[in-house]
Amino acid sequence: MKLKELVKDIVQDNSLIPNIEINNICTHSNLAHNGSLFLAIYGKTFDGHDFIEDAITNGASAVISNGRNMGELPIPNIKVANPRLAASKVAAEYYGHPSKELKVIGITGTNGKTTTASIVNNILKANGLKCAQLGTLGVLADGFISEKTLTTLEPIKLHKIFRDFVSKGFSHIVMEVSSHALDQMRVADIEFDVASFTNLSPEHLDYHNTIEDYFHAKAKLFHGLSITSTSIINFDDKMGKVIAKKSKAPVISVSKKGKSDIYFSDLNHNLNGINGTILAGDKVIEVDSNLIGEFNVENILCAVGITNSLGIKESVISSGIKNSSIIPGRMELFYKKNGGIIIVDYAHTPDAYEKILKTISEMKTNHGILHVLFGCGGDRDSLKRPKMGKIVEKYADKLWIVPDNPRSESIGSINSEIISGLSLKKHKEFTDRGSALTKAIKTIGAKDILLILGKGRELYQEISGEKIKYSDIKIIEEIINAD
């Protein structure tokens, strides 16, 4: 594509832009070559402007920068107020605005994004549609490698993979949209047909600083919708109605109660699953799911709201929900041969802890001891650590405090901050997650439950700048299969 055409939406007058050919766009200097347009993005750790000379050395043909004085450059330097927004617009233009050729569903919220996206994906597939899922689990699409990525991809990768989806005949994309992505304008030029809000509780405050900033980041998804889009909002969350007021698109409310557009007319949920009937206008949707927990009731409602707005038949929605029996790393159940139950969940926020532990404590009337193995991530919001410890202590009989991606922080200091929220002597502290997990699994008896929180199906531990191979699931399976 000609540079003049590529930047037409980010400069006031492109008549002075040279008519050179661009065959690559990138934000990393080591990816630049002859014909590349290099976008200098300011990040948390690195500033792309410091790598402009490297990009030019590697052959870059043009640069987009934020206007600071870079001296005389041997290639065109297009100066803009916001290179992040420019990256989104340039990526969309370079790949031909592929989101316009797809039905794109965006799901945001503190908790429930992955489960809701997975249920929607299964419903769309049950309807015979070719659908891709993007989010915490990576890229889930037939013919594509499922690799671990950011929850929401950077704009160049995002628009490229959307173009790849179009070329492979995909019609629908369901994607998780993180607060970081919204704040950093990664999805500014994605045209969403449906957007859904699951819930909001304090998270990522190391990045957003305040809950108000975090909320406003989430609200950007709905403020950016067109009038032809649809918003699906969980009104059971106290911020649901506030988010609804931010939406430029028509709003469909969902709730476990009757005061909403879509709700359960009857509902039963226990350790065996979720059963009931959802009313959506004059439609009746039967729910028979192996998913457990009241929070999954809300996720199912959001998924029903999304797929109902897309015109999917009731029977297909019911079938897709039933097929969503296992969401990897989300309330995933394993059983010891002695009858002990092991539950794995990716939860890593106080709100998620409260919901999961409350659910399990209410359901374990015929069970014995509730063990909880958990930790807190390093280089993240430290104020939530004692809160999470206090929540676990409220519900659990025994606490196993272990590392969970300590990153550059001391495992001991993280554990100490968790323990500062405890008042009872029900905990044990460990510096090695694997050995603690092995001991915990072997400890639980026939009627006990072991809840393992934080990592889900992650395949690594982040320790001192390294990603070290590690899997809770692998340890669980090795031990229970050897029993």
Residue 363 has pLDDT above 80, yes or no: no
d(C-alpha 427, C-alpha 420), whole Å? 12
DSSP-assigned states of every residue in 435-478: HHHHHHHHH--TT-EEEEES-TT--EEEETTEEEE--HHHHHHH
Q: How confident is the model at residue 204 (pLDDT cuts 50, 70, 90)?
A: low
Last residue in a domain, options 257, 290, 323: 323
60, 106: one domain: no
Q: How far is CA 303 from the centre of its chain?
A: 15
Q: Which position has the higher pLDDT, 223 or 361?
A: 223
Q: Are residues 378 and 419 in the same domain?
A: yes
Judge if 449 and 368 occupy the same domain: yes
Instruction: Dump pLDDT digits (tens) for 107-120.
Output: 999 889 999 999 99
pLDDT band at 205 (very low <50, low <70, confident <90, very high): low
Single out the residue in 79, 94, 109 at which a domain terminates: 94
pLDDT exceeds cutoff 80 at 11: yes
pLDDT at site 202: 61
Does residue 262 register a pLDDT over 90?
A: yes
Is residue 190 located within the same domain as residue 240?
yes
Residue 203 has pLDDT above 70, yes or no: no
pLDDT at 270 over 90: no
Please indicate, yes or no, whether residues 151 and 189 belong to a single structural domain of this protein: yes
What pLDDT score does 1 carry? 92
300 and 264 in a common domain: yes
Are 261 and 345 in the same domain? no
Name the residue range of residue 40's domain.
3-94
Residue range 200-223: mean pLDDT, rounded: 80
C-alpha angle with apex 424: 418 to 425, nearest 5 degrees?
A: 90
CATH number of the domain enclosing 472: 3.90.190.20
* Residues 33 and 169 reside in one and the same domain: no
pLDDT of residue 66: 92
Q: Residue 252's domain is classified under what CATH number? A: 3.40.1190.10
- Specify whether 166 is located in the same domain as 310: yes
Same domain, 144 and 185: yes
Average pLDDT over residues 433-453: 96
Q: pLDDT, tens digit, for every residue of 151-196?
A: 789 999 999 999 999 999 999 999 999 999 999 999 999 999 999 9
Task: Check pLDDT > 70 for residue 65.
Answer: yes
Q: What angle do CA 381, 383, 386 make, to 5 degrees?
A: 125
CATH of the domain at 69: 3.40.1390.10
pLDDT of residue 54: 97
Average pLDDT estimate for 290-306: 94
Q: What is the pLDDT of residue 149?
A: 73
284 lies in the same domain as 352: no
- Predicted confidence (pLDDT) per residue in 312-357, tens digit: 999 999 999 999 987 888 889 899 999 999 999 999 889 889 989 9
- Shared-domain flag, residues 169 and 299: yes
Q: What is the pLDDT of residue 434?
A: 97
Instruction: Answer whether residue 236 shows pLDDT above 80.
Output: yes
What is the CB-side half-sphere exposure of residue 470 using CA atoms within 13 A? Answer: 19
pLDDT of residue 324: 92
Mean predicted confidence (pLDDT) in 274-300 = 94
Residue 296 has pLDDT above 60, yes or no: yes
Instruction: Taking residues 397-416, report their average pLDDT.
Output: 97
- pLDDT-derived band at 292, boundaries 50, 70, 90: confident
pLDDT band, residue 208 (cuts 50/70/90): low
Lateral strand order in the sheet of 36-39: 24-26, 36-39, 62-65, 77-79
| Overall average pLDDT of the 55-69 stretch | 93
User: What pLDDT shows up at residue 206?
Assistant: 66
Structurally, the chain folds into a number of domains equal to: 3
Residue position matching structure tokens 């340890």: 475
Write down the pLDDT at residue 41: 93
Mean pLDDT across the chain, nearest whole number?
93
- Structural tokens at position 450: 């072991």
Last residue of a domain, one of 292, 323, 354: 323
Indicate the Cα dihedral angle 188, 190, 195, 199, nearest 10°.
-40
Q: Which two tokens stand for residue 375?
A: 């930790």
Per-residue pLDDT, 295? 87
The answer to whether 54 and 30 are in contact (CB under 8 A) is yes
